[in-house]
Amino acid sequence: MFFPRKRMKLRSYSNHGNYRKKGSRLNRLTLLVVGTIIGVFLFIYYLNEQLMPTYLEYAEVQTGKIASSVVSKAIDSRTSSVMDVNDILVEVSPNNQADLKINTETINRVRTETVNQVKVYLEQAEQGELSHLPTLDNVEYDFNKINEGNGVVFYVPISQAANMPILGNLGPKIPIRFHVIGNVHSEVTSSITEYGINSAYVEVGIHIEVNVQIIVPFASKTTTVTQDIPVAMGLVRGKVPDVYSNGSSEVPSIQVPVPPKK
């Protein structure tokens, strides 16, 4: 009579041991899965932190190319062309070519026209105007997101962004987005180079700066795209003096004969 009871107790003890073994296996499996997920996450985070400066640098280079191309197309579409600098110089004193100044009204008109055109082209590029966006190697535009008003969005292969050309275009692609922030800044620049006797080569231009924000996964950066636009250039000739002494007080070495008055 007692034998069956002992068998029942032994069977019950055996089942309890199996449950403990199954529970311990399940716990070890859970810890393994959780540890693997944490390890993968930490590896991705470490890799991302190591490659982030390279991503941002590559994104800045590509963004600079795109923004500069858009600005250049806006400049080329202007109605005004490069003028002769003599056409924008006015005499401060009548009949005195030695005292000249730049016609600020003309320069400001060209400056306003250029800045407005650049603004229009940048806004249209951010809204998905295909003709304003250049075709670059390893750059794929996301026109759906651009049309949604998210700025200029494009993708580059991770191998290119990480400076690993041996992998070609393999691997996932990194999304990069940039948009213009603030207004387009501009200022008038001039350069005067001495040329010959009492003559100078004069260049007048407009320096344009566009601030853009670059956004990559888990990071962003603000950079400035610059462009110099020539407005007028040419040789300004002054009156040739009768005597040339090269600025010294000694006896002049060159004397130009004065033609007789008629």
Portion of the chain with pLDDT greater than 90, in percent: 5
Beta bridge mates, 157? 173
Residue 209's pLDDT band (cuts 50, 70, 90): very high
Cα–chain-centroid distance for residue 160?
18
φ, ψ at 75 (rounded to 5°): -70, -40
Whether residue 256 is predicted with pLDDT greater than 70 in this model: the reply is: no
Q: Residues 66, 134: contact at Cβ < 8 Å?
A: yes
The more confidently predicted of residues 45 and 8 is 45
Beta bridge mates, 234? 202
Q: What is the pLDDT, as a whole number, of residue 47?
A: 63
Cα–chain-centroid distance for residue 113?
22
Buried residues in 137-150 as b, exposed as e (16+ CB within 10 A):
ebbebbeebbeeee
User: Which of the listed ranges 9-18, 53-62, 166-175 does the model predict with the highest average pLDDT?
Assistant: 53-62
Provide mean pLDDT across the span 99-126: 86
Quote the mean pLDDT of the chain. Answer: 76
Q: Which two tokens stand for residue 242?
A: 């009768």
Provide mean pLDDT across the span 12-34: 66
Compute CA distances 217 → 39, 154, 178, 214, whole Å: 20, 13, 12, 10
Instruction: Using CB atoms within 10 Å of the CB of residue 155, give its burial: 0 to 12 exposed, 13 to 18 middle, 19+ buried.
Output: middle
Q: Which two tokens stand for residue 87?
A: 């056409």
Whether residue 220 is predicted with pLDDT greater than 60 in this model: the reply is: yes
Provide mean pLDDT across the span 21-26: 64
Whether residue 23 is predicted with pLDDT greater than 70 in this model: the reply is: no
Whether residue 1 is predicted with pLDDT greater than 50 in this model: the reply is: no
Whether residue 39 is predicted with pLDDT greater than 70 in this model: the reply is: yes
Q: Which two tokens stand for residue 68?
A: 């500069």
d(CA 64, CA 52): 18
Report pTM.
0.67
Q: What is the pLDDT, as a whole number, of residue 208?
A: 92
d(CA 202, CA 193): 6
Q: What is the pLDDT, as a whole number, of residue 251?
A: 54
Considering only CA atoms, which of 120, 179, 186 is closest in space to residue 146? Answer: 179
State the DSSP H helix or E strand holding residue 254, giving kind and residue range, or none if neither.
Answer: strand 254-255
Considering only CA atoms, which of 183, 121, 182 is closest in space to residue 152? Answer: 121
Residue 139's pLDDT band (cuts 50, 70, 90): confident
